[in-house]
Every structure is written in structure tokens, then in C-alpha cells.
Amino acid sequence: MDISLEDIGRRFNRDWVFRHINYRFEIGQSYAILGPNGSGKSTFLQVIAANLVPSAGHIRYTAADKEIAPDSLYQYLSLAAPYMELIEEFTLIEQIRFHFKLKNYLPGFDEETIMELLSLQHAKDRQIRFFSSGMKQRVKLALACCSDVPLLLLDEPTSNLDQQGVDWYLNLVTKTRTDRLVLVCSNQEKEYGFCEQIINIVDYKLR
């Protein structure tokens, strides 16, 4: 999948969050979207995910030389973000099975390997609402990274993770990012050190 941004911008009321972004994201590359808290990184990611419409400009999505309509993009992406909620009433195994009714497993993964990856076999029948914030973040990351989609979007991926969790995340993303387009929104280098390309959202604030 490739994504072409043509002079895009997004504003709320009269205030531009960012504007005049011209860029092309290419399959097989990992990109870090940088900026301080409140700078618009998450808004930018929501525009890329077609959850928000640009206030200016145009985004073109293509896969296998075929253009993808924004309202069909959800079939091609997975997302892990602090503001994305799991279904609290589900048990862990129910959450995994529900998710993978909507997405296919990445080759090499299945229900059993994801449970092993999470090291939460003991909690498979526990409702998500009883999980710690770190456990929930691991579940979000595992579901996103182990879905067979060409576009992986990660917003502040190590939120609520301790150092062991950070190491777990880096190992997971290293194993699953090959031949995909990966965007990581962050202001912590430990989250995006593997990214080949860097974009600073601040460069597009007042232009």
C-alpha cells in the first residue's frame, strides 16, 4: 500500500493543526511522526486512517495499483492507540476471537500463538475490565501487529508499559513490520528507533 498526501491540512474551527503536507508513504517502510504532546500527531494519524476528513487537500490510497476509497480503508489497516478501547465485557479469548472475525491472522500467527505471545494464558477467561493498563496495551498491540493488513498505525505504543513491556513491543514490531507500511506517532525515541523515515508535525504548523 502507498499513501499520497496532496497539500493536506486539518483545522478545528479557525485553528490549523497542520497544513500544506505533501508526502508519500510507501509499503515496506516505517515512518515516525514526531512532535510534542498536543502538536497534532494523533489528529494526523486519524486523518491518515480516514477517521477524520482533511480540511484541505486530498489523500490517495493505492494497493496493487488499485485506488482504495477512504470508506473502505478500514479493511486494510490496524490501529493501536491509547484512545482506542477494548470491549471491557469480553474475556481475553472472546476479544481475540471477535477481532479475528474481522481481520485475518498474519501468517505464522493464530489464537494459540497470540496467547503465548501475550503470556496471559492464565487470564484467557478473565474480563478485559479487570486487566491492568499495561495488560490492555499489550492486547491492543498484539491484535494490531498480528492482523494481516498492509497498513499498521501505532499511536504512543508504549503507553502504560514498563521497560520489560517496551522490550516486548520492540520485539513484536520487529517480527511483524516486514512488507508493511508502518506509521508510529511518538515523542519518545525508544518507540520509533526502528523507523527509516521521520516527519515532524511541527514543521507543518504555521505555513
Q: What pLDDT, on a 0 to 100 scale, did the predictor assign at position 149? A: 97
- Global pTM reads 0.95
130-173 confidence digits (pLDDT tens): 999 999 999 999 999 999 999 999 999 999 999 999 999 999 99
- For the stretch 62-68, contacts whose Cβ atoms lie closer than 8 Å and that sit 24 or more positions apart, written own/partner, are 62/1, 62/2, 62/3, 62/4, 63/1, 63/2, 63/150, 68/1
86-133 confidence digits (pLDDT tens): 999 999 999 999 999 999 999 999 999 999 999 999 999 999 999 999
The domain spans of the chain are 2-204
Does domain 2-204 correspond to CATH entry 3.90.1150.10? no
